[in-house]
Chains A and B, each alone.
Chain A
Amino acid sequence: MTEVATTTTPTPAGTTPRGAGGTGSTPSIGDGVRMRIWRGDPAGGAFEEYRLPAQEGEVVLDVVHRIQATQAPDLACRWNCKAGKCGSCSAEINGKPRLMCMTRMDQLPEGPVTVAPMRTFPIIRDLATDVSFNFEMATRVPAFAPAPPPAEGYRMAQIDIERGQEFRKCIECFMCQDVCHVIRDHEENKTRYAGPRFFIRFAELEMHPLDTNDRRDLVRERMGLGLCNITKCCTEVCPEHIKITDNAIIPLKERAVDAHYDPVAWLGRKILRRTKRSAAEAAALHPPGPAPAP
């Protein structure tokens, strides 16, 4: 976010003057908190500074909520669960993408805390950005397509699903997308680059024991997997600590490349059919048993 200007917002008339260093009735700690929040819309904006008393154990989102309640009722920000489980309240705190609900004030350095919207996505208002890019990208992922269940139902070993489970921890905060320089610095790539969130989705499907769709050519040719040069920025910001680069992107690159370039693998596939089958082929090989209980 380019810092346009810095202004200080006076306490609006008609609200309790809880600003200025904790003179209100709320218990305060030290000198109170200062938070500089980007306010604006697609036409432009600026950081505005708010002062309010500090409270024990607060996270950034608590302070934003208190600012809304006492000083800026129209301050736009997304949030839902306030427990790090829904991935709604992503923002750039002191320049780093983080969940506002999981960032404790007492663990940030002294001095004003800067809160800006995610830079990679267009601004709607204040801290709310237009993340529709991600929802459009989701529609381009070919669906999970399992073979029909055998009569006794599907069986999968825990060890075989743990790889996929790691990726399914994703809370879709889109901070990996925000920090990925392939789209952060190159708007033009958005049409041809799925981004880390969707690379882990492709990896999850690729590694799913029941899936039959082969998406390796798609992810290489149309989803821009090759544009990722594994700087691991995505892994660093992931609040779920998913090893996006090591466990998803690199294996996906290897599999996609193998599928396309390796002549031995190509020949092996032709002879031994060691690729995923299409859903139709799989269905022909495994006649459907009764559905898992009527």
Chain B
Amino acid sequence: MPSAHETHDFDVIVIGAGGAGLRAAIEAKGRGLRTALVCKSLLGKAHTVMAEGGVAAAMGNVYAEDNWQVHFRDTMRGGKMLNNWRMAQLHAQEAPDRVHELEAWGALFDRTQDGRILQRDFGGHRYARLAHVGDRTGLELIRTLQQKAVSMGIEVFMECKVLQLLRAGDGAVNGAVGYWRATGELVTFSAKAVVLATGGVGKSWKYTSNSWESTGDGHAMALWAGADLIDMECVQFHPTGMVWPLSVRGLLVTEGVRGDGGVLRNNEGTRFMFDYVAEMFRAETADSEAEADRWYADHSAGRRPPELLPRDEVARSINAEVKAGRGSPHGGVFLDIATRRTPEYIRRRLPSMYHQFMELAGVDITAEAMEVGPTCHYIMGGVRVDADTAATTVPGLFAAGEVAGGMHGSNRLGGNSLSDLLVFGRRAGMGASDFAEGAPGTPLDPAMVEDAASKALEPLGRDGGENPYDLHQNLQEIMQALVGIIRTGSELTEALGKLGELKARAAKVSVSGGRAYNPGWNLCTDLPAMLTVSTAVAQGALERRESRGGHTRDDFPGPDPEFGKVNLVQRQPGGGTVDVEITLAPEPLPAMPDDLAALFEEAH
């Protein structure tokens, strides 16, 4: 019974303490609401710290021509027009304010000669647009927000894993139940509004840039609470992850390397990206190395290098080169900045990349090329939200950041994630506050708490069952092999069959040890979300019979205009669990107003 557990009452609880969660909590607390921040790790360790390159915002500090309309257009084109136009608009309009706000909270971005915030080039962005701090921008962002949150006295529940959202009789979300990792003791939260800011899903793949926390908890909990997910098949494989040593395979190599002059070569030394420029980008992409190289110093002296095409284009090209036998010794391609920039420049602009390769691979990137290949990095799909308020389709439930869908369409541009966290983190905080201020609050359902708790504890009481680590490894192998960067119908069908088998095995998982700080048990409680989300991704991928953005079907290699008009919506009507079937239906994208649509017809 909940009365026997530790229980807390708040107006707003925010689940997840990365950039979006912190920003949402700051907004709600600033409104004077009783606000809690709940996170699986220690404060300040969220996956946001891994973001390297920068935060995209059309401030126009380096190229005065830049403005929100150009940023909006780049974002929509990068997402292959599957984006929620209103989210892309708000994002482009509000990102500069959010960056300036960070500065007023103590962030120290790199500067231009005249003392303004410096901006760097990144793939898919027409102008140098990423405010940054060397190659550790995510750390700066999270530390600034963390220090702001601490100074406001926001209550933080660290190392607290949320298992399930709680709902009132009318279906509205009114709390959550979880446990303290240190003790394993249960804790329940009663709240008038809940913000999901739980990040991504990458831990279901074998080679990923994501940390252990990226298990899709928010995606799954939203679905189980009856909320809609959209376009879950749209998963981004970042083109440049480390490929060697094997133990760090998948670890991110920032796009900033290419923005700062690095180029991709195959084992013949060829800059192969010139061979992979899609029709959509041909007019604005350089067609010779000389032209591309002129562009770095002056964007009016040449067109963009093809290495800076959107991530989906680059990742597919690398995949094709390796498949054609032109890859590097460890199955990637070469990313070369050593022959193109001085060691001093590289160490100043890319200090953590220098450090990472030196320490982990014994490679000096100022003297040698890096070996890189695609790594599972980000999910564009996610919880369906209202653009202005971040409200999900379930009353009382809000979502922001990677867990929310729509903003990035079928492919996210680099740098648009940090700005997304800030813009929609704030909006989710506002939306949740508006909702909470008018809400009376409803009592928690003790049966729902008890049910979630007893399910979570089952693996500890069971003997001789499946090892959760084996199950997780099997899941990663299935998703990597069958729901990876290039997909086909038969393999997706096979994946869904195997995921069904895994769900049956997951019901029999067991683990030794007690409840106190037991990672094996913690993993058991992450598995239902990982299996739910993996199923949604595979189902969406099977249904979307086209290739678009991060979703590539070998059996449907081109885009299909009909699929370009729809979100694939998945739900468990009325709510569900990992074992309940997920329905799927196409629904039309929100229609873009004419004035914005006109931006795509202008010559460029």
CB closest residue in chain A, given B113:
A158
A220 at the A/B interface (Cβ < 8 Å)?
no
B97 and A74 within 8 A (CB):
no
Question: Could you say which of A1-9, A165-173, A187-195, A271-279 contacts chain B?
Answer: A165-173
Q: How large is the interface on B (under 10, 10 to 19, 20 to 34, 35 or more residues)?
A: 35 or more
Residue of B nearest to A88 (CB): B45
A216 to B108, CA, bound (A): 21
Give the residues in chain B near A85, CB-CB below 8 Å: 49-50, 136, 138-139, 352
Of the listed stretches A30-38, A146-154, A261-269, chain B binds A146-154
In residues 198-226 of chain B, which contact A (Cβ within 8 Å)?
211-213
Give a binary string over B468-495; 1 marks a CB under 8 Å from any A CB, 0 the rest. 1110010000000000000000000000
Contact A168 B140 (CB under 8 A): yes
CB of A250 closer than 8 Å to a CB of B: no
Which of B43, B138, B469 has the most chain A CB atoms inside 10 A of its CB? Answer: B469
Query: Given A82-B211, A293-B100, are A88 and B41 neighbors across the interface (CB < 8 Å)?
Result: yes
B424 surroundings in chain A (CB, below 8 A) = none
Which A residues lie within 8 Å of B45 (CB)? Answer: 80-81, 86-88, 172
Does residue A25 face the partner (Cβ distance < 8 Å to B)?
Answer: no
Given A59-B360, A143-B151, A154-B103, check contact A125 B517 (CB 8 Å): yes
Whether a CB of chain B sits under 8 angstroms from the CB of A96 is no
Task: Answer yes or no: A286 CB below 8 A from chain B CBs.
Answer: no
B446 at the interface (CB under 8 A from A): no
A214 interface contact, C-beta 8 A:
no
B300 → A minimal CB distance (Å):
25
Q: Report Cα–Cα, A109/B150, bound state, in Å.
A: 42
CB-CB contacts of B428-452 with A at 8 A, as 1s and 0s? Answer: 0000000000000000000000000
Q: How far is the CB of B196 from chain A (nearest CB, A)?
A: 19
A56-B111 contact in complex given A80-B41, A83-B251, C-beta closer than 8 Å: no
Nearest opposing residue in chain A for B518, CB measure: A74
A288 to chain B minimum Cβ distance, whole angstroms, is 11
Instruction: Select which of A12, A83, A124, A154 is within 8 A of B516 by beta carbon.
Output: A124
- Cα A56 to Cα B115 with chains together (Å): 47
A280 in the interface (beta carbon within 8 A): no
> In the assembly, what is the distance between CA of A196 and CA of B377, in Å?
35
Answer whether residue A260 sits at the interface, using C-beta atoms and an 8 A cutoff.
no
Interface pair B111/A156, CB less than 8 Å apart? yes
Q: Which residues of B contact A82 (CB under 8 A)?
A: 211, 248, 251
CB contact between B511 and one of A73, A149, A154, A211 (< 8 Å): that residue: A73
Can you name the residue of chain B whose Cβ is closest to the Cβ of A169?
B136
A53 interface hit (Cβ, 8 Å): no
Whether A283 is near chain B, meaning CB under 8 Å from some CB there, is: no
Is the beta-carbon distance between A56 and B246 smaller than 8 angstroms? yes
Contact indicator A158/B213 (Cβ below 8 Å): no
Is B115 within 8 A of A79, CB to CB?
no
- Chain B residues 516-533 with CB under 8 Å of chain A are 516-521
**Interface presence of B401 (CB below 8 A):** no
Cβ-based interface call for A20 (8 A): no
Across the interface, do A135 and B251 meet the contact criterion of CB distance under 8 Å?
no
Chain B contacts for A88, CB-based, 8 A? 41-42, 45
Q: Is A294 an interface residue (CB 8 A)?
A: yes
Q: A76: CB under 8 A from chain B?
A: yes
Flag whether A77 is at the interface (Cβ < 8 A): yes
> A76, B50: Cβ atoms under 8 Å?
no
Question: B319: which A residues are within 8 A, CB to CB?
Answer: none
CB of B150 to closest CB in A, whole Å:
5
Q: Report if A161 contacts B (CB, 8 A).
A: yes
Known: A128-B517, A168-B143. A208 touches B212 (CB 8 A): no
Chain B residues lying within 8 Å of A81, measured Cβ to Cβ, are: 45, 47, 49-50, 211
CB of A208 within 8 A of CB of B106, answer: yes
Partner of A76 from the list B97, B246, B355, B517 (CB cut-off 8 Å) is B517
Q: Tell me whether A155 and B359 are in contact in the complex, defined as CB-CB below 8 angstroms, given that A73-B513, A76-B517 are known contacts.
A: no
Q: Report yes or no: A57 in contact with B244, Cβ–Cβ below 8 A.
A: yes
Q: Which residues of A contact B520 (CB under 8 A)?
A: 68, 73-74
CB distance from A5 to the nearest CB of B (A): 20
Is B382 among interface residues, defined by CB-CB distance under 8 A? no
B47 close to A76 (CB less than 8 A): no
Question: In the bound complex, how far is the Cα of B106 from the Cα of A161, in angstroms?
Answer: 11
Q: Confirm or deny: A251 has a beta carbon within 8 angstroms of a beta carbon on chain B.
A: no
- C-beta contact mask, A122-139 vs B, less than 8 Å → 1, else 0? 001110101100010011
Q: Are B111 and A59 in contact (CB under 8 A)?
A: no
Closest Cβ neighbor of B470 among chain A residues: A69
B106 x A78 contact (CB < 8 A): no
Q: Are A168 and B50 in contact (CB under 8 A)?
A: no
Question: Is B9 among interface residues, defined by CB-CB distance under 8 A?
Answer: no
Contact residue range for chain A?
Answer: 35 or more
Contact A69 B473 (CB under 8 A): yes
Q: A81-B211, A171-B139 are in contact. Are A294 and B467 (CB under 8 A)?
A: no
Q: At the interface, yes or no: B245 with Cβ under 8 Å from chain A?
A: yes
| B364 interface hit (Cβ, 8 Å) | no
A44 to B105: give the CA distance in the assembly, Å: 43
Q: Are B133 and A144 in contact (CB under 8 A)?
A: no
Bound together, the chains give a CA A58 to CA B245 distance in angstroms of: 8
Q: Does B456 contact A (CB under 8 A)?
A: no
Assembly CA distance A83 to B521 (angstroms): 24
A64 to chain B, nearest CB (A): 10
Q: Separation in Å of the A247 CB from the closest CB of chain B?
A: 15
Contacts of B246 in A (CB 8 A): 55-57
User: Contacts of B118 on A, CB cut-off 8 Å?
Assistant: 158
Provided the pairs A56-B245, A86-B50, A168-B108 are in contact, do residues A73 and B512 lie with their beta carbons within 8 angstroms? yes
Tell me if A292 counts as interface (CB < 8 A to partner B): yes
Q: Which residues of A contact B335 (CB under 8 A)?
A: none
Rounded to whole angstroms, the CA-CA distance of A104 and B362 in the bound complex is: 10
**Does B31 make an interface contact (CB < 8 A)?**
no
Residues of A within 8 A of B111 (CB): 156-158, 161
A119 to B511, CA, bound (A): 28
What's the nearest-Cβ distance from chain B to residue A129, in Å?
10
- Identify which of B44, B103, B158, B359 contacts A172 (C-beta below 8 A): B44
**Chain B proximity mask over A54-68: 1 for CB below 8 Å, otherwise 0:** 011111001000001
Answer yes or no: B110 CB below 8 A from chain A CBs.
yes
State A143–B42 Cα separation when bound (angstroms): 21
Chain A residues lying within 8 Å of B158, measured Cβ to Cβ, are: 135
| A84→B356 CA distance, assembly (Å) | 8
Residue of B at shortest CB range from A75? B519
Question: Do A149 and B151 contact each other (CB < 8 Å), given the known contacts A85-B136, A126-B517, A158-B111?
Answer: no
- Complex: how many Å from CA A104 to CA B151? 38
Name the B residues within 8 Å of A14 (CB-CB).
Answer: 464
Determine if A144 and B211 form an interchain contact, defined as CB atoms under 8 angstroms apart.
Answer: no
Distance of A289 from chain B, by nearest CB (Å)? 12
In the complex, chain B residues 25-79 whose Cβ is within 8 Å of any chain A Cβ: 41-47, 49-50
Smallest Cβ-Cβ distance to A172: which chain B residue: B44
User: B50 touching A12 by the CB < 8 A rule?
Assistant: no
Q: Which residues of A contact B252 (CB under 8 A)?
A: 83
Does A41 have its Cβ within 8 Å of any Cβ on chain B? Answer: yes
Chain B residues with CB under 8 A of A57: 244-248, 360-361
Contact of B108 among A139, A143, A165, A170 (CB under 8 A): A165
Which B residues lie at the A interface, using CB under 8 A? 41-47, 49-50, 96-97, 100-101, 103-106, 108, 110-111, 114-116, 118, 133-134, 136, 138-140, 143, 147-148, 150-151, 153, 156, 158, 182, 211-213, 244-248, 251-252, 352, 355-356, 359-361, 464, 467-470, 473, 511-514, 516-521
What are 17 A-B residue pairs whose CB atoms fall within 8 Å in the complex?
A59-B360, A68-B520, A69-B467, A73-B468, A74-B512, A77-B519, A80-B211, A83-B252, A83-B360, A84-B352, A85-B49, A124-B517, A149-B104, A156-B115, A158-B118, A164-B108, A165-B108
| Nearest 6 pairs of A and B residues by beta carbon | A57-B245, A74-B513, A73-B520, A155-B115, A292-B100, A143-B151
Beyond A161-B108, A293-B96: 19 further Cβ-contacts under 8 Å?
Answer: A14-B464, A55-B246, A68-B469, A74-B513, A77-B519, A80-B41, A81-B47, A84-B352, A85-B138, A86-B45, A86-B211, A125-B516, A128-B517, A130-B182, A143-B151, A205-B106, A211-B106, A292-B97, A292-B103
